[in-house]
């Protein structure tokens, strides 16, 4: 393991940003193909992107949330695809694979990410 990241965020905080600035917020945060249907899903995506950025060792200092795409495999497990500067950071650090887990409870979304060789 080369890195580990975790994030927890209030669902209502992300929902409020989405309500206040829907186009701007989603354009800044969502990668192509990401289409959350609920506030919980949107907050989970945000938490996952934060956790991945921390597992990469940079946070969002070197790239933005759109460089991290959270998808789902055939079993519904979340997957991570990197693009742009996030992909370059991963390559430079020898990170070949990222694992992520997302959960929601009590009005909070939490995600944990591991960066592997």
- Give the global pTM: 0.96
The dotted CATH code for 3-116 is 3.90.470.20
Calculate what percentage of the chain has a pLDDT beyond 90.
99
Contact criterion met (CB below 8 Å) for 46 and 65: yes
Q: Compute how many other C-beta atoms are within 10 angstroms of the C-beta atom of residue 65.
A: 21
Parse the chain into domains and list their residue ranges. Answer: 3-116
Candidates 28, 49, 75, 104; catalytic one = 104
Clarify whether 54 is annotated catalytic: yes
| Structural tokens at position 107 | 């009005």
Q: Which residues pair with 113 in a beta bridge?
A: 5, 100
- Residues 59-103 have pLDDT tens digits of 999 999 999 999 999 999 999 999 999 999 999 999 999 999 999
- The Cα 61–Cα 38 span in angstroms is 28
Q: What is the pLDDT of residue 74?
A: 97
Is 104 among the residues known to form the active site?
yes
Q: 30-47 pLDDT, tens per residue?
A: 999 999 999 999 999 999
Are 100 and 109 a contacting pair, CB within 8 Å?
A: no
Contact 114, 55 (CB under 8 A): yes
């Amino acid at each position: 393991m080369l890195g580990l990241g975790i994030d927890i965020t209030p669902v209502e905080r992300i929902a409020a940003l989405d309500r206040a600035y829907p186009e701007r917020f989603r354009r800044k945060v969502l990668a192509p193909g990401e289409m959350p249907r609920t506030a919980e899903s949107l907050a989970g995506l945000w938490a996952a992107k934060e956790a991945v950025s921390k597992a990469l060792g940079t946070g969002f200092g070197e790239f933005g949330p759109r460089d991290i795409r959270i998808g789902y495999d055939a079993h519904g497990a979340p997957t991570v695809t990197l693009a742009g500067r996030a992909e370059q950071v991963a390559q430079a650090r020898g990170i070949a694979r990222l694992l992520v887990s997302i959960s929601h409870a009590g009005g909070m979304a939490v995600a944990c990410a591991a960066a592997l060789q």
